Amino acid sequence: TQVVMLRAGDLSIGVPANVVEIVRRTSAADLEEAYRTGVFDDGFEQLPFFWAGALLQASARSTEAAGKTRPVVIFRSASQRIAMHVDEVLGNQEVVVKNLGPQLSRLPGLAGMSVLASGAVVLIYNPVALSTVYGDQVRAASAGLPAILEAEGAGAGKPAPSMLSGPSQVPL
């Protein structure tokens, strides 16, 4: 299965390549506007807009140093489309998707998991499903925050919380 590897802060995830429509490089001004309004204009329609770390409950905003442009990934699943800001697109990778089991299969948006050649476990998410379940909650929590947080204000150095708990916890 082809996945696109994405990074949001210290968290790296995979998303099925078939849900990635396009990766856009976006100016800081356009990104700030998308954060302010909660929508991203891709030239065709207004898309719901999210920070990847917020949908994954890992961080409120990016702490990456500002550059000229930043990546925004547009996803399509069935008839739904969303835009998601990420710190970095790490590229495509061929992976073997492992069975989630009964506990993990109940997590909304978690599409699978795989073990990379390096031995690292990667969780594979469907961002459209995540936004459907957690989108309103993320918008309420992030209202009024700037597009980019200063590193000390974003909890730099703290480990990203896991969405799992107990003995079956998978390190992220």
pLDDT at position 67 is 75
Q: C-alpha 160: how far from its chain's center?
A: 13
pLDDT at position 144 is 62
pLDDT at position 140 is 81
Length of the chain, please? 172
pLDDT at position 58 is 80
Q: What is the mean pLDDT of each run of 10 residues along the chain (172 residues)?
A: 94 96 94 92 93 85 77 94 95 91 90 91 94 87 61 42 42 42
- Where do the structural domains in the chain lie, given as residue ranges? 2-147
Q: How far apart, in whole angstroms, are the C-alpha atoms of residue 2 and residue 97? A: 10
Beta strands in 35-106 (DSSP E): 39-41, 46-51, 69-77, 80-85, 88-94
Please state the φ and ψ torsions of residue 139, each to the nearest 5 degrees.
Answer: -60, -45
pLDDT at position 148 is 56
